[in-house]
Amino acid sequence: MATVTKQLTLEQFLELPEKKPALEFEEGRVTQKVSPEAKHSTLQYKLAVFFNQVGEPAKLAFAFPELRETYAGRSYVPAVSVFTWDRIPLDAHGEPVDDLFVPPDITIEIRSPRQSLDRLVRRCLWYVANGVRLALLVDPILRSVRLFLPGEEPRELRDGDLIDLGDLLPGFQLTVDELFGFLRIA
Strands in the chain per DSSP E = 3-4, 23-26, 29-32, 61-65, 69-71, 74-76, 80-84, 106-110, 134-139, 144-148, 155-158
Whether the Cβ atoms of residue 14 and residue 75 lie closer than 8 Å to each other: yes
For residues 70-74, give the mean pLDDT: 97
Q: What percent of the chain shows pLDDT beyond 90?
A: 81
Residues 6 or more apart in contact with residue 65 via CB below 8 angstroms = 44, 45, 48, 79, 80
Whether the Cβ atoms of residue 84 and residue 54 lie closer than 8 Å to each other: no
Amino acid at 17: P
Average pLDDT for the chain: 93
Long-range contacts of the stretch 159-167 (C-beta < 8 A, 24+):
163/136, 165/106, 165/134, 166/134
The maximal CA–CA distance of the chain, rounded, in angstroms, is: 47
The pLDDT of residue 162 is 96
For residues 86-98, give the mean pLDDT: 95
pTM: 0.92
Amino acid at 71: Y
List the domains of the chain with CATH numbers: 36-181 (3.90.1570.10)
Give the model confidence (pLDDT) of 4-47 as tens digits.
Answer: 456 899 999 999 998 988 999 999 999 998 888 999 999 999 99
Gap between the Cα atoms of 50 and 27, Å rounded: 33
**Strands of the sheet with 69-71, listed across from one edge:** 3-4, 29-32, 23-26, 74-76, 69-71
The pLDDT of residue 5 is 52
